[in-house]
Amino acid sequence: MSLTTRRMLKEIKETTAKAEADLKQQTGLDIGLTVDETSFPEDEAVLNDFHVHRIYGIDSILGAMTTVTSDELGKEAVKEAIQKIVLTNTAKSWKEDGGRSLRLKDGVLTVSCSFSESSNNLYKPEVLSKEISNLL
pLDDT in tens, 45-70: 777 777 777 777 889 999 999 999 99
Distance of CA 72 to the CA centre of its chain: 23
In this structure, are residues 31 and 83 in contact, taking their beta carbons and an 8 Å threshold?
A: yes
Distances (CA, A) of 6 to 18, 28, 53: 19, 33, 19
136 has which bridge partners? none
Domain count within the chain:
1
What is the pLDDT averaged over residues 26-46?
87
> What pLDDT digit, counting tens, does each position of 90-128 carry?
888 777 778 899 999 999 999 999 887 766 788 889 999
The set of long-range contacts for 104-109, using a CB threshold of 8 Å and a minimum separation of 24, is 104/132, 104/135, 104/136, 107/81, 107/82, 107/83, 108/82, 108/83, 108/84, 109/82, 109/84, 109/85, 109/135
* pTM of the entire predicted model: 0.88
Distance of CA 60 to the CA centre of its chain: 7
- H helical segments located in the chain: 3-27, 44-52, 58-68, 72-81, 125-135
**What does the longest C-alpha to C-alpha distance in the chain come to?**
47
Structural domain for 84, as ranges: 3-135
In this structure, are residues 51 and 11 in contact, taking their beta carbons and an 8 Å threshold?
A: yes
